[in-house]
Chains A and B, each alone.
Chain A
Amino acid sequence: MSEETRVPAKKSGKGKYELSDELKAYKGVWVFIEHEQGGVHPVSWELLGEGRKLADKLEVPLSGVVLGAPSLATRRFCEEAFFHGADHCYLMEDVVLGNYRNQPFTKGLTDLVNAYQPEILLLGATTQGRDLAGSVATTLKTGLTADCTELNIDMENRSLAASRPTFGGSLLCTILTLNFRPQMATVRPRVMAMPNRDTSRTGTIIQHPLGMMEAEIVTKVLEYIPDNQQDKPQLAFADIIVSGGRGMKNPENFQLIWDLALLLGAEVGASRPVVQAGWVELDRQVGQSGKTVRPKLYIAAGISGAVQHRVGMADSDVIIAINNDPNAPIFDFATYGIVGNAMTILPALTQAFKQQLAVAKMAS
């Protein structure tokens, strides 16, 4: 579609936009169902949970979009999408969609959008989702908001209000795409809650052909080397995380974090300055530029709780904060706080947990 064919909305009255008839035809909320090596990325289900709320507010259907090689798996992904809240699934099957590649996936998703015209299109902010979203939004010449932490509907304009951290994560901003459709946004894994899986739900599958030959695709996949999962920290799905920040002062003190984590069977996390200083690897960074986590227990020592870090862990069930500054922002949203020197509190906490666990063991 050329840029000239788009008719932008006119501003009518104060701050309210009237969409052109062409853009008014865009209806419904879509979630791109991302999969790799036979498994769906959980962020897709999280987005269906969030998409359901948006679709209900707009009183429109929620749809999943599955692109892949013809197989039983793609059918199963559609079925799972229904279980997680979708009413419809757009299914595009073609052998050339067997592995993710930018060119055929961009064409596939763009064609689907032009054919069925959703008003909102959500993707996971993963290596695949970000690669695809940027290409699709540029092809469609529409707005795309990256790494949203909050999605809502601005009812006055019937538009998607996508909020994300800005200025290095110290403030949030809300971004609207007023006079272009679809409104696109990416959301990182674990930012949204996992919806309930309801196996009684069903829906309709709408199939659409890709119409592309392998010879037209320039990039070829020579090999796929799966990661050895055991070697990598798995923060996103950890139940307990013990994190340290700049307040730990040096890498030797950071060992106190590891000591407590080892006792609790927890993953070790860190704030950005600690990762930048090289005390722990990048995979352990929690926050806007690292991982988003939602454990049952999050212990933060020597972390001030700037927005950058906060957006990555604020949805933890219980947050324990240890900081020597009583005015540290982390005490504004933690469940419990201890004001004091992390270097003396942490060993005491390790000891206290040890005692409590011994008691719990005797009781069982």
Chain B
Amino acid sequence: MHIVVCIKQVPDSAQIRVHPVTNTIMRQGVPAVVNPYDLFSLEEALRLKDIHGGCVTVITMGPPQAEAALRKCISYGADEAILVTDRAFAGADTLATSFALAAAINQISKNQAVDMVFCGKQTIDGDTAQVGPGIAKRMDMQLLTYVSQVDSVDTTSRTIQVQRRAEGGVQVLTTQLPCLVTMLEGTNEMRFATMDNMFRAARHQLKIWDRVAAGIEDVSKIGLKGSPTVVSKVFAPQAKTQRAEIIESESGEPRDLALTLVSKLFTQHPSASEAVVKQAA
């Protein structure tokens, strides 16, 4: 089995801060991590490799420093890593990103056919969940999103059975390889990096592909040019004209504050207080 896992290096969102005055993002010093959703897909790919043999190739499109994220994946047990990086990719939206990644995966498959592609459910910085379906469509692969469990893969008949989260239940689906899978979070636990793999990650010769190496001739399909969407403005959410009424009391004791608040709620907000009476009953 040859499995390709698409990952993205993202800023650790828990550590992003907004400048209190200018409302701009303070990116400096924010550490970069592998998108947490991608790790569930990487672990699933490694698990399938443990069962069926073969190799796992991780790929990312991003700036040169995304190399660190790829090395992290090697330390978990991925075999090969490819960084697709080129100034021409800058400003890509999800359509242009899926074009570039699909082209690169096609290049990979020229050396060794790709049986499965894994993507994260979504990223924590873009949150779109669109690149996975986009790659599947462009590569004409079957798409299995929000997979909670890979039940089985049969490499002889080239079929896969999975459980897929739907809105009100779980679909048990079977399809043909090659296919693209996005894993749901919390479905497995990333293994620890072994000492051997950590050394391997440090020494590993990553493949670094520019646009041409990724097999892309037409620059009109990538980067800003290949992106149908444009960001017209970025803004801080409008402050409501009315700030909260701060509840105060003479004593300032929690008990008095709470009583004042509850009495205001019951006298001035009939629908909320009716809900309280109804629900509490």
Contact = CB atoms under 8 A, between A and B. Distances in A.
Interface of A: 3, 34, 36-37, 39, 41, 99-103, 106, 126-128, 130-131, 133-135, 137-139, 141-147, 154, 161, 165-180, 218-227, 229, 239-240, 263-266, 272-273, 276, 282, 288-289, 295-297, 306-307, 310-311, 317-321, 326, 330-341, 344-345, 347-349, 351-353, 355-357, 360
B93 A143 contact: yes
A346 B117 CA distance: 49
Contact of B16 (A37, A168, A222): A168
A137 to B, nearest CB: 7
Contacts, number: 287
Interface string B114-139: 00000000001111111111101110
Contacts of A133: 130, 133
B235 A171 contact: yes
Contact of A266 (B18, B233, B279): B279
Q: How large is the interface on B (under 10, 10 to 19, 20 to 34, 35 or more residues)?
A: 35 or more
Interface in B81-95: 93-95
A349 B240 contact: no
A355 to B, nearest CB: 7
Interface in B138-166: 138, 142-146, 161, 163-166
User: SS class of chain A's interface: helix, strand, loop or mixed?
Assistant: mixed
Contacts of B128: 144, 146-147
Contact of B233 (A167, A174, A221): A174
Contacts of B29: none
A300 B117 CA distance: 41
A100 B166 contact: yes
A134, A144, A331 interface centre (most CB from chain B within 10 Å): A134
B78 to A, nearest CB: 25
Contact of B244 (A167, A168, A334): A334
B281 to A, nearest CB: 8
24 contacts: A128-B167, A135-B134, A144-B94, A146-B94, A168-B11, A172-B234, A174-B232, A176-B232, A218-B175, A263-B280, A264-B276, A272-B14, A276-B14, A318-B265, A320-B261, A331-B246, A338-B247, A340-B254, A341-B254, A345-B257, A351-B258, A352-B261, A353-B276, A353-B280
